[in-house]
Structure 1
């Protein structure tokens, strides 16, 4: 009999991760109430959450979930195409389509599942997918799964994108994020829309870090720039500014009908619980309301304060439009040490390393929330100066 443990060589792989400063482990939190998180007897102010509007622990969220559970109970019990589609799912999808200005929308169990279901359902062998180099791993994995030819252009490099469009074969899908998750900068969406239209391509925009944060009623960067009607596929998550979990694809009615029939991550997954769909519909109403505008205003004020503090301590933060502020350090060991010093000072900001970002660009990824106070951000500036 073969020595299966030696054949798989798991221990050596783990040792290699440790040697490269790429070892990761789960750190369970005992409590997470808004911006304050606790594990054991330690407590930190959280500057790493994607809960940009502070809705995850809000009174509105608690009330919506309690109402949903009272009405619908727990799990859905089946996949959407068996008997798992409830009126609450349809109501949510209609609300998302209205919110994004499309004919229809479809919800998935996660943002990753949206990408894995959508891209292989629409393109395949003989087609071409053109991605920004900094696209999220879910978009890259979905492109690989599709079997289409993959071409990559350097981040926001429009000349290279145009050259790739000129030589692309078959159906052509351009894929980008609107706000990039690890750098916090924006895609050149107006220019990308013009190029894709000129060459007859389709455009998928992942607005995970822009929806709720940017644009009229929080509808995202494409809406802020006035090009949302020219985006063919609007991908987003329900786990960031919306404060819950799941993902969606908003597009034409025909595209959504095709996904219902061909998106494997949708077809073969149990439907999300109805109470989540109910609460998410409530969150869309809140985000679109005057209350949502006030939260966005507070968030942008907090981002401006944090940017100025970084400048005051001699750093040059990138141009940001959303809530992500990367502090690029370089070597993983140095970034890990800085993160540990911040933890000792009472701030939770994990280190981001390869393969999430390129080798030699390890960083602290600071995220702001509408809930952060002026004093918390000021204290972070002092702690960050001491940690670097």
Structure 2
């Protein structure tokens, strides 16, 4: 046991030495420029009221699902919800997972086989990396949004080819060139799998995502949509064909060997989707994003993004953490993203904008950012 304890301390001290030791923080009274609650759904009194009204229709609901979907945890409500989600996103079928992490783990670990190849953007989410590691497929990484690099990897690929990308990248807010990627995939007979976690609710008609916005649904093999960001609840779904849904039910271990989400979770997802369809929730957010970017147009470290994620590059863990701390002392909940989460030298402030941020709050934040970051 001493050897294990020593190993733990050694690893923690290594993080501490480069000012990269993570710790948990509780909720604060700071102004939220940190969460993924882009549309403010998680705090919406209207959505809460709608959920409570829906809940009254099911007085016999269970607190837990009691088992996996393949045992006692399945019901008609869940299957109807999956059909509704598929219809909304213009695809054949969907399958619910406990989280976006579980969804990516499920598809990337079960679908590619030993003689196949997975090719991912270098900025891809950790859940896709972990899922790919669990498969027996060869794994390649292409330079971020670099089509020449992607084509080089496609030329070297063997067997069935799976291309993993995000439509909006979580650590920089930039978008993948989806049309170009689909064209290359078709040239080399590859299957494109798109994680739309940070696009759902924000882009496309009523927030259907960028794949739908660009009319690429028929050219993308599968999409992962998550509900813990703009939809303000919890869980995820994989969108694709009926055959893919059946395959995942049979082979995706993160679906098979876990207790299903509760009825309460699924009802929250349904209510959130109904609320998303009810009005144009995106308009105010995009106005806030435009306002933020116009006020910081002189700050050279601001990267390109039309999403709710806005990035200011602040190289060095110490400097990025210090500026974030100073902003928090001013009243703004802004977090630094440090290496090794991002590569050394590309540390940053990750600012998330929301419908619940007032123009006055955004203006005050921009004034503070210009003071700390303006070139």
Superposition TM-score tier, normalisation by shorter sequence: over 0.9
1:47-94 Cα shifts (integer Å, max 9, x gaps): 011111111111233124434554224111111111101222112211
Which of 333, 354, 359 is matched with 1:369 structurally? 354
For the residues of structure 2 that align with 1:332 and 1:319, how far apart are their CA atoms? 22
For the residues of structure 1 that align with 2:128 and 2:340, how far apart are their CA atoms? 15
| The 10-residue stretch of structure 1 (14-23 or 275-284) with the greater mean CA deviation from structure 2 | 275-284
Q: Is the 8 A contact 1:68 1:276 kept in 2?
A: no
For the residues of structure 1 that align with 2:133 and 2:364, how far apart are their CA atoms? 44
In structure 1, stretches of 5+ residues that fail to align are 30-37
Equivalenced residue count is 370
Structure 2 match to 1:3: 2
Say whether residues 1:56 and 2:45 are aligned partners.
Answer: no
Equivalent runs, 1:65-214 vs 2, <5 Å: 65-67=51-53, 69-70=55-56, 71=58, 72-214=61-203
In structure 2, stretches of 5+ residues that fail to align are none
Q: Is the 8 A contact 1:95 1:284 kept in 2?
A: no
Which of 2, 11, 17 is matched with 1:19 structurally? 17
For the residues of structure 2 that align with 1:207 and 1:75, how far apart are their CA atoms? 28
Secondary structure of 2:264's partner? helix
Equivalent runs, 1:35-50 vs 2, <5 Å: 38=28, 43-50=29-36
Q: CA RMSD in A?
A: 1.4
For the residues of structure 1 that align with 2:131 and 2:152, how far apart are their CA atoms? 23
For the residues of structure 1 that align with 2:305 and 2:92, how far apart are their CA atoms? 31
Q: Which consecutive segments of 4 or more residues in structure 1 shift more than 6 A?
A: none
Q: Is the 8 A contact 1:65 1:275 kept in 2?
A: no
For the residues of structure 2 that align with 1:364 and 1:319, how far apart are their CA atoms? 14
For the residues of structure 1 that align with 2:317 and 2:238, how far apart are their CA atoms? 35
Structure 2 match to 1:320: 305
Secondary structure of 2:41's partner? coil
Note the C-alpha offset of 1:304: 0.5
Say whether residues 1:226 and 2:225 are aligned partners.
Answer: no
Note the C-alpha offset of 1:375: 0.3
Note the C-alpha offset of 1:5: 4.5
1:127-178 Cα shifts (integer Å, max 9, x gaps): 0001011101111111111121001110111012112212210110011000
Structure 1 match to 2:291: 305
Q: Is the 8 A contact 1:86 1:274 kept in 2?
A: no
Secondary structure of 1:82's partner? coil
For the residues of structure 2 that align with 1:171 and 1:84, how far apart are their CA atoms? 33
Structure 2 match to 1:287: 276
For the residues of structure 1 that align with 2:4 and 2:127, how far apart are their CA atoms? 30
For the residues of structure 2 that align with 1:249 and 1:243, how far apart are their CA atoms? 18
